[in-house]
Structure 1
Amino acid sequence: MNRPTHCDSPETELADISTPAETRPQNPKPVLRPADPRFSCGPVKKYPGWSWDALADAPLSRTHRAGAPVARIKEAIERTHALLELPEGYKVAMLPGSDTGAMEAAMWSLLGQRGADVFSWDVFGNRWTLDARDELKLKDLRVFQEPAGTLPDISQYDPKRDAIFTLNGTAAGVWIPDFEWIDADREGLTLCDATSAAFAVEIDWSKIDVLTFSWQKCMGGEAQHGMLVMSPRAIERLDSWRPDWPIPGLLQLHANGKANMAVYEGSTLNTPSLMAVEDYLAALKWASRIGGLPELIRRREENFAALDEWVSQADWVAYLCDNPAHRSPVSVTLKYTDPDVIASGEDAQWDLTKRISSLLERENAALDITMHRASVPGIRIWCGPTVERDDLAALGPWLDWAYREALDAG
């Protein structure tokens, strides 16, 4: 009688039993793979169910000044306003250059009227520090800077001064967990880079005057477009103040000596990609369908909880941020803890990270989890709302497997 093909023969079973223990695989691969291996911290995974059909109605091959394209841009602005639950009077604009362009437009157009403080602990926070100190050459500047993994002393905030800060350090694994440190009746403006926090955390808009983000982070959109949120106080600053330094056209928020209000009504400073706009609109509609901002935040919380359960049991990595209160639950950064790995030095740790990443990519278990090149060697995993909890739960055993394989290969 023929045996079913899905059953092992007795001979195979006996061979397995008789195999010496020392020759059996010592690091078996996990059985369950993440259904989607994309855990990049930017650009991030698109929302569940995304397909090219989402772009079918994009008004391509048309000028961005025509009726239909302007209507699409205005809809993106209005849906952003609604999804972020912005207060009345807050304005939204679409700018070139991703979050970087939006943040630098705000800095170039708004700063210089009064003293400014920069709170920096991440790659892009360091970028804003360089802009303020070396490019704008602000005369009255204080810099509060810490290495990746540590939050600066935000208690040094002075409400009479402008403040520039990153809400969530994507490459540093550190976030600012609340807004209690900011005065509601401040005199200065608060400029917040929230590119990996918008749509993933609650924001107290009474404490924010300027907020920037990009589509490629929490919403999984395409790159090169930035969003600028402006409070009435920030608009008033534009109406009453213009810095004495030259402002490039792509960063220019003034028009005829006043705030350029056209950019909040669908006009843009240069030509946007209408295909990318359509993609962002699709993500905004998905978010509204599933329950809006509360549901996006809930998904992020569940994602982090799933990964945190593995991290708490891992014996070779730990959070880069030692303070649980400051630990980012969106972009999770992990450092090596094995004494032998630490003693090997940073170059060897970077090599280990590359081996881990290559093994996981080969197995299609995880893509793009290497730490940012300007940070420290380790692993970086995105827990934003477009990622699925089950995929993060399945990821942990694969990380363990790849680490052991990479050590043996090294």
Structure 2
Amino acid sequence: MNAPRPASRPGNPCFSSGPCAKRPGWSLGSLSEAALGRSHRAKLGKAKLAEVIERSKKILGMPADWRLGIVPASDTGAVEMALWSLLGRRGVDVLAWESFGEGWASDVSKQLKLDNLRLLKAGYGALPDLTQVDFSRDVVFTWNGTTSGVKLPNGNWIPTGRAGLTICDATSAAFAMDLPWDKLDVVTWSWQKVLGGEAAHGMLALSPRAVERLESYTPAWPLPKIFRLTKSGKLIEGVFKGETINTPSMLAVEDALDGLKWAEEIGGLKALIARSEASLKSVADWVGASDWADFLAEKPETRSCTSICLKIVDPWFLSLDADAQAAAAKRIASLLEEEGVAFDIGSYRDAPVGLRLWGGATVEPADMAALLPWLDWAYGAVKSDKAAA
């Protein structure tokens, strides 16, 4: 039997996993103080860039002796900057349980051509065996698998006294999950995720251990200008004070500030995490009663509260061939977009067939709850249409 058509709908249908929903109440008027037409190197421009850095550090509870800089090319640029600038002194363990981790492993192997590389891999839905990680080596990993919905439950698997560096891609975790700064050496993210900022800019956070590596080690390969963090063997401190390597969008900077100020107004990191966790709880309660949907993450403690990935477990659906399954899942997402209920919730192109709901802090938990009956309605409609065909 088809689920009834829901009477209410989400107030904001934006559930994309990036760029993500703007904060509640956002409008273009929120950016009226942007330093448009001004140099990013002028006093006003540098002050705004430095403000993004300082507000971010404060909200995240980053240790005072860490450096945080704004870098080009979103989270991808920040991660690549770390890989190209820091790796090569030691062997490297790369953890991969979804497409982005696999991408970092490919770059380390095929671009940097490091032969002392180990890939610790798990399929979508699971984590690699963390007990096999060798911390005498450098370790590269995502905190939250954006395309699998599988996160690290904690940092207990990382020793405090380690020889290698831990390089963490935290783009869909920062501002929505607790990050154990004492277990990390490099942390990256972008503005377009949990706080709903505009894309193109990345954030690169470095521990004192990471800075020491930068100042004592020169990679064997040439570094493009946008990756260079040292000069004459010393850290370029200006990068971490708002003196960006390239020209940033001052409109995007203002938008980043708007998101950070909103985060402070609602209660900081604890409030941001609580909003994401509330959305996840709604989905978990719904999944518990569903006869057709389940989490892609195999263990509850690894379920992401931001990129919430669902698989379809109805025997009817599983009886379809792979192409038919993909078409049905795509039709579910398209039907909800046509209704103006949910945009961009199809699973990532390299991930298993299913749905992906963004539950970051800018999504109202009430909107997530309102979406769930629509998922039942859309699935029922697609199943009925396929069965009748």
Q: TM-score range by the shorter chain?
A: over 0.9
In angstroms, what is the RMSD of aligned CA positions? 1.2
- Work out whether residues 2 and 384 of structure 2, in 8 Å CA contact, stay in contact via their aligned partners in 1: no
Of 198, 223, 230, which residue of structure 2 is paired with 1:247? 223
Cross-structure match for 1:315: 291
Question: Where does residue 267 of structure 1 map in the other structure?
Answer: 243
CA contact (8 A) 1:173 1:327 kept: yes
**Could you tell me which amino acid in structure 1 is paired with residue 337 of structure 2?**
E
Structure 1 residue 409, shift from structure 2 partner: 2.7
Native 8 Å contact 1:109 1:254 kept in 2 = no
User: What does the per-residue CA deviation read over 1:183-235, in whole Å, with 9 as the maximum and x for residues that have no partner?
Assistant: 10111100000000000011110001000000100010000100001001101
* Deviations 1:99-129 (CA, angstroms, capped at 9, x unpaired): 0000000010001111110000111101100
Q: How does 1:206-245 map to 2 (within 5 A)?
A: 206-245=182-221
The reply on whether 1:142 has 2:118 as its aligned counterpart is: yes
C-alpha contact (below 8 Å) 1:365/1:395 kept by paired residues: yes
Tell me, in whole angstroms, the C-alpha distance in 1 between the residues paired with 2:360 and 2:344: 15
CA distance in 2, matches of 1:232, 1:117: 21
Q: 1:377 to 1:245 in 2, by over 3 A?
A: same
Partner of 2:64, secondary structure, is coil
Query: 1:121 maps to which residue?
Result: 97
In structure 1, what is the equivalent of residue 157 of structure 2?
A: 181
Preserved CA contact (<8 Å) 2:2 2:377: no
Question: Counterparts of 1:356 and 1:368 in 2: how far apart (Å)?
Answer: 11
Task: Kindly indicate whether residue 123 of structure 2 is the aligned counterpart of residue 160 of structure 1.
Answer: no
Structure 1 unaligned residues grouped into runs of 5+: 1-24
SS at match of 2:101: helix
Does residue 385 in structure 1 map to residue 361 in structure 2?
yes
Give 1:27 deviation, angstroms. Answer: 4.7
Question: In the alignment, is the contact (CA less than 8 A) between 2:2 and 2:380 conserved in 1?
Answer: no
- In the alignment, what sits opposite 2:46? 70
Q: Which amino acid aligns with 2:101?
A: G
What is the DSSP-based 3-state SS (H/G/I as helix, E as strand, rest coil) of the residue aligned with 1:312? Answer: helix
1:7-22 paired onto structure 2 within 5 Å: none
1:350 and 1:68 map into 2 onto residues whose CA distance is 50
Structure 1 position 258, deviation (Å):
2.3
**Greater displacement, 212-221 / 134-143:** 134-143
Say whether the 8 Å CA contact 1:115–1:141 is kept in structure 2.
yes
Corresponding pairs, count? 386
Q: Deviations over 1:86-108 (max 9, x none)?
A: 11200100011100000000010
* More divergent stretch after superposition (328-337 vs 171-180): 328-337
Letter aligned with residue 357 of structure 1 = A
Q: How far apart are the structure 2 equivalents of 1:133 and 1:251? A: 18
The residue identity in structure 2 corresponding to 1:339 is P
In the alignment, residue 240 of structure 2 is paired with which amino acid?
Answer: Y
CA deviation profile, 1:294-323 (whole Å, cap 9, x unmatched): 111111111111121111111111111222
| 1:399 aligned onto 2:387 | no
TM-score computed with the length of structure 1 as normaliser: 0.92
Deviation at 1:261, TM superposition (A): 1.5
The residue type paired with residue 216 of structure 1 is: Q
Q: What is residue 94 of structure 1 aligned with on the other side?
A: 70
- For residues 82 and 13 of structure 2, the distance between their equivalents in structure 1, rounded to whole angstroms, comes to 36
**Distance across 1 between alignment mates of 2:146 and 2:2:** 35
- Note the 1:361-376 alignment, pairs <5 A: 361-376=337-352
Structure 2: unaligned runs, 5 residues or longer: none
The 8 Å contact of residues 43 and 217 in structure 1, kept in 2 or not, is answered as: yes
What is aligned with 1:339? 315
State TM-score, norm by structure 2. Answer: 0.97
CA contact (8 A) 2:3 2:376 kept: no
Please state if 1:50 is matched with 2:26.
yes
Supply the AA of the counterpart residue of 1:338. D
Q: Is the 8 A contact 2:173 2:306 kept in 1?
A: yes
Match of 1:6 in 2: none
Distance across 1 between alignment mates of 2:205 and 2:26:
26
1:84 aligned partner: 60
User: 1:112, 1:392 → 2: CA distance?
Assistant: 44
Relative to structure 1, the CA distance from residue 27 to residue 290 in structure 2 (aligned partners, 3 Å threshold; closer, same or farther) is closer
Identity rate of aligned residues, in percent?
49
Aligned equivalents of 1:156, 1:26: Cα separation in 2: 47
Q: Which residue does 2:329 correspond to in 1?
A: 353
Offset of residue 291 of structure 1: 0.6
Instruction: For 1:139 and 1:360, locate their aligned partners in 2 and report how far apart those are by CA, in whole Å.
Output: 47
SS at 2:289 equivalent: coil
Instruction: Specify the code of the residue in structure 2 equivalent to 1:52.
Output: L
Q: Deviation of residue 49 (structure 1)?
A: 1.0
